[in-house]
Structure 1
Amino acid sequence: MDVPTTVTTALEDQPIDGATCLEAGAGVGNATAGLLAAGAARVYAVTNDADHASTVRDRVGRRAPDRTAVVEADLRALPMAANSVDVITAHGLCNVLTPSALETVATELTRVAVPGCHLVVDDYEPPPADAAVRELFALENAVTELADGRPALTFYPATMLRRLFAGHGWTVDRERTLLDPVPWTRAHVEAHAEVVRSEAAELPDELRDPLLAELERLVAAIGKESIGEMYSIAMRFPG
């Protein structure tokens, strides 16, 4: 199983061998693959996205069925017992959570953590003011707010996430940089553009058309860009 360098770097100093682990927000299963490669006894890959769940099952679950459980569930109400997980990963999760959802998820992650549990949160600093992709993300947020009443993305500084989890009793072991700069590839830009197109389809023509025109201008102008920072914070719940 191919594991991105960002995941292996984030996990390399964690006690994963033989541990019961939770990947909070499974996405395509990058952290699940990393946890299994590092010797996890069992990994619960939790996502509320059916397509992501199917991808993780195909990519990871079938290769290690006795060590992997893909769970379709809302992270704000985990179907897991209290004090049941040794290691938790949140790799690129927080930026897709609103502040209120993030607070609820932090509460749930704390609930399922055993005393001495390790938590690794990997995410992105807010893009610099001069970043071209910042305009794309702002447009994505504007369209999803109009369509669904919620932003698609919220970029939290590392200091804010440290304070949030400290309020739930977690202590910080270390913080490190995973990417600087972050390579926003053409594929990344197109993926965010596709979110805008999909959400804009729900809007009336007089709103949709100028927003989509601005989107295509931004996509052509950006192409690809390397800017910003991805960080990793390792924390521990008191034992």
Structure 2
Amino acid sequence: MASGNGGAETASVPQTVEAALADRPIEGRVCLEAGAGVGNTTAGLLAAGAERVYAVTDDADHARTVRERCGAAADRLVVVKADLRETPLRSDAVDLVTAHGLCNVLAPAALDSIAAALTRVASPGAQLVVDDYAPLPDDAAVRALFAVENAATELADGRPALSFYPARFLRRLFAGHGWSFDRQKTLLDPVPWTASHLSAHAAAVRDAAARLPPELGDPLVERADELEATIGSESVGRMYSVAMTLSGDPDPA
């Protein structure tokens, strides 16, 4: 990915983000990172010369992390703490929207309203880059840990923590809001689920279980800890990137 203007002043950019953005027009554009997380794509957009990046997250810790990580480019960065469904940007405000590892933490019921909100703030002809994880193979060991995490959050919060969507599903979703398909590429194959990843997912089980009666939460924590220790790490599955352009005409297909 070309460094554009200001690449030297921004944080390091993961290779998956570089690969996802490499063929998109970014320099001089107004961009939105939807679900900013720790700011991986915000850093990539700033490094590629974006005129301005709106990093939207509903997590105060993530908002703080993005500000600290990308503070050297603070004149081109606006961190917005908000629910994506209520993104406080005017219509037609941005030229490029990214969602890197966002959809897998969204329950199906939230997807369409978020797609509508992202479409509202995008200008005619805007670009969209959605990067996410394909459904895991049936024999993937990490599936069991993710299933325990989903069980814990379903009981505690009434929604799953993780949903893995095929690329074709997300393509159809955004096509229904007027986005036309440009390209699809593989970012990781296999995906390395490291010991630190597994530890984070086991911790998520403990967090959810703490909101449950012990008779429900304790067995889930015990199972999550057992799976974390047994699996250790695993490389399995695929991460993909889909790029689309806002044509303005919803595609019923």
Give the aligned partner of residue 99 of structure 2: 90
Larger mean Cα displacement after TM superposition, 212-221 or 30-39: 212-221
Are positions 1:144 and 2:153 aligned together? yes
Question: 1:24, 1:45 → 2: CA distance?
Answer: 7
Are positions 1:31 and 2:41 aligned together? yes
Aligned residue-pair number: 238
Give structure 1 stretches of 5+ with no counterpart: none
Deviation at 1:213, TM superposition (A): 1.3
Q: Any residues of structure 2 matched to 1:1-239 within 5 Å, and which?
A: 1-60=11-70, 62-238=71-247
Deviation at 1:208, TM superposition (A): 1.6
What is the aligned-residue identity percentage?
66
TM-score normalised by the chain length of structure 2: 0.93
Give structure 2 stretches of 5+ with no counterpart: 1-10, 249-253
Deviation at 1:210, TM superposition (A): 1.4
Deviation at 1:104, TM superposition (A): 0.4
Question: 2:218, 2:137 → 1: CA distance?
Answer: 28
Q: Aligned letter for 1:75?
A: L
Q: Is the 8 A contact 2:30 2:52 kept in 1?
A: yes
Cα RMSD, aligned residues only: 0.7
TM-score normalised by the chain length of structure 1: 0.98
Give the aligned partner of residue 8 of structure 2: none
